[in-house]
A and B are shown apart, each in its own frame.
Chain A
């Protein structure tokens, strides 16, 4: 039974699922190995009593073109042809800044957004309009790069996409400064920063611009049956394509020989051979602990993972409430709640389990998906970023007490900011922490996001450096730690890119 797989995919997160789907679609012999008994990684669901919770997704931008770099919904529906039912989010978000008396419902659509900001911050129209135009232009350049990645003309790029080049080295804050966007207007526009998890003075402007424009211009959707519907649809597609999947199976070692990946060894002691490996496990895990022998890892690969800043993890409080949203006074799908929108100070708070002065991004699923729970009930999830380091000293024995205290802070903050009373209606509650995410996904230190996309480690530098940072010719990465950075859309599409890349490197037909 010494079968050799064309491609082994390590990990059935969104990137791994897409990679296995794309590779199997090409008729390759594919094996997808997942340590958990479910596909999806963070893109899953869980049931408690009468409720099925969404673990991680807030929404996906509903970009209407396949060519857009962020057109992931189009990819899933039209290109991959997966059986996923999507439902739309009504408004972008409601931002409540408790120290600043700000409580504004932000709409989708660029003109509507500009109007809303102008109403709240008179005199901001001109700069915000310019800012949103620039963001749209940046996203246009990403589309151009996607379309021309094989035959990129640097001259044309410099000439036609000058704004992309001139802003490419800067942080989102520096570009907002140069356009003189008023501080109070930024307070309203910045909440999505937490989807990338880097303060605006360190965040690559280009990735921020693409993200903001994707959501505001196109609106957003969620799958009707939680993220597990996306993952399950991929699994079905992989099976139909003839791909194989092993759940409950952990890869203990990646086997190498003479600078090439030769296969993997699983926790039941089997050695499985492959011609190429696509890893949804991060470079950090692969180069730090999985590659065998250890000496096969080039020093440059170790320097790479040691230098990059690992992103943050989350605490999520999942609540099944025994009253309808209207009875509770919940009218919005997405709430961003913080004392202020100084993202550098907010980031500073995520090292501290006291959980004071933090930002939370909370979702009432029923507003977009009324049938997600039985009539007269509500699903509410409160999410806050935390550095895993904050949890490092928590002992197993203290763990449950500590996470309950953090959850209580989030519930307090939500109730005070929204003037609702949810505490008397908690029928089910689960609290996820970095430990939880480490447990279910195997992610290094329970990190939810990938490496932080600062200007030097954003999509463009990652893509440009990709060849010089490929340490094994037949190994490519996908998922939140790969070159597209994190987020559902990036993770999914990175799977397809990784397959194409690894086939190209190996001289196999793409």
Chain B
């Protein structure tokens, strides 16, 4: 078959001329600079590799909780816009050791865009040694190196229900403040029920503000405070700022139980007693049902997760903020379970037979900081914690196995990864890569860790 497009001669000449055409076009081309392209600039604005922020002010929220207002400093001119519910990781040198911790942003995206600040709210007592450190050391003017906003604990209109039940415990209220303010102001058709557990009224972070929000949006936002301490002040809340006795609409005592949830979320009533005859199969029932967002300390997760079993929620209707929680290893041996991120840099060494040795190889002299290192590791603490304690400053963001930022190579040895914190890629399992932040040593390890780019030079 001989194919001719125009004529054999013209076709052949045209082929030869394509190169001439190319040369002609290039000759006429501009030799000006293109400069940074819009999408690269947008990416740099939304996802700066690091943000240098300065503590602009400190607010005492409760006796144990402070809010730090962070504004751009040094190389950063603006704080990156984020999605309500996301966190930033703060890199700090604590007692001479560089460590990183994720904190939910308690202020709103509007605050970031219009006011150019983030608030992070930290409660001492839940975060091991780091939170007390912030309360001692962070003052107006303190400069912090932070990550870009990260995390997937945010409301997504294409996925989530129009009625969200927020279960918050203690400082777990911080992402909800951002989500509630943002959504109530900006997303008209959303409704929220907040069940907020605290030890007592004086530890209710953002209490008065949330109460005011409830008065502002009575049809869309309902708040239930749940005090765990046997408190006679329930119903007669003193707290920090409130002066009126009936500041809170619904006050309960004890814990956030299935019964309590049922009481305040009537849509869930039909599910009492498990499955319902006549209902469509699972996966089709939950379009009109509320979704649950959970954030709180580890004990609360375990408790609430058990209580929620009564409602047979599908995974799409249950979202948890897990950041920083992988250190609580419920799947580990009993002696392991109490350890974790609560271990201080100067933690007491465990019994010798419980210690493993981690050899950290240099990936390339061209980019790594030094030479091979050998460090001890406690089976009850994550590999990441061991690396940090040895002063290696590894990359870390979420500390719960989710974000993958600490991804490293496991050259040899055995690790344990709690299933709920295991987000390793299939090919990473196949080729031996792991997430130090959610992995516990179960033998001596040889690993290779990439450099931490947030610290820069």
Task: Spell out A's residues near B (CB within 8 Å).
Answer: 1, 3, 5, 31, 33, 37-38, 45-50, 52, 83, 130, 133-134, 137, 158, 162-163, 165-170, 174-175, 178-179, 224-226, 228-229, 231-233, 235-236, 244-250, 266-270, 272, 284, 288-289, 294, 299-300, 302-307, 313, 322-323, 327, 376, 388-389, 391-392, 394, 396-397, 399-400, 404, 407-408, 411, 423-429, 434-439, 442, 444-446, 455-457, 460-461, 464-465
Shortest B155–chain A CB gap in Å is 11
- Would you call B364 and A244 a contact (CB within 8 A)? yes
Does B430 make an interface contact (CB < 8 A)? Answer: yes
Q: Could you show 25 A-B contacts with beta carbons less than 8 Å apart?
A: A3-B365, A31-B366, A38-B407, A130-B1, A166-B4, A168-B15, A170-B5, A248-B450, A268-B456, A289-B35, A299-B31, A303-B30, A304-B26, A306-B30, A396-B46, A399-B46, A404-B156, A408-B158, A427-B315, A428-B159, A438-B43, A455-B18, A456-B21, A456-B25, A465-B23
- Would you call A244 and B363 a contact (CB within 8 A)? yes
Does B405 make an interface contact (CB < 8 A)? Answer: yes
Q: Of B36, B81, B316, which is in contact with the most chain A CB atoms at under 10 Å from its CB? A: B316
Cα-based distance from A284 to B40 in the complex (angstroms): 13
Q: Which residue of A166, A232, A244, A400 is within 8 Å of B3 (Cβ)?
A: A166
With A38-B407, A268-B451, A396-B46 in contact, is A446–B39 under 8 Å at CB? yes
- Would you call A248 and B315 a contact (CB within 8 A)? no
Q: Of B39, B287, B405, which is in contact with the most chain A CB atoms at under 10 Å from its CB? A: B39
- Would you call A232 and B433 a contact (CB within 8 A)? yes
Does B367 make an interface contact (CB < 8 A)? Answer: yes
A47 / chain B contacts, CB cutoff of 8 Å: 402, 404, 423-425
Task: Spell out B's residues near A (CB within 8 Å).
Answer: 1-6, 8, 11-12, 14-15, 17-19, 21-23, 25-40, 42-43, 45-47, 80-81, 83, 109, 113, 152, 156-159, 283-284, 287, 314-316, 363-368, 395, 402, 404-405, 407, 423-428, 430-431, 433, 450-453, 456-457
Shortest B118–chain A CB gap in Å is 14
Q: Which residue of A162, A228, A246 is within 8 Å of B2 (Cβ)?
A: A162
The 3 closest A-B pairs by CB, nearest first: A246-B367, A445-B37, A307-B29
Cα-based distance from A304 to B24 in the complex (angstroms): 11
Q: Which residue of B25, B83, B287, B407 is within 8 Å of A307 (Cβ)?
A: B25
Closest to A47 in B: B423
Cα-based distance from A226 to B34 in the complex (angstroms): 35
- Would you call B43 and A247 a contact (CB within 8 A)? no
Cα-based distance from A437 to B457 in the complex (angstroms): 26
With A166-B15, A303-B29, A303-B30 in contact, is A426–B39 under 8 Å at CB? no
- Would you call B81 and A399 a contact (CB within 8 A)? yes
Cα-based distance from A54 to B14 in the complex (angstroms): 41
Shortest A314–chain B CB gap in Å is 12
Q: Which residue of A37, A163, A247, A388 is within 8 Å of B37 (Cβ)?
A: A388
Cα-based distance from A327 to B316 in the complex (angstroms): 17
Cα-based distance from A299 to B19 in the complex (angstroms): 19
With A247-B450, A461-B19 in contact, is A170–B14 under 8 Å at CB? yes
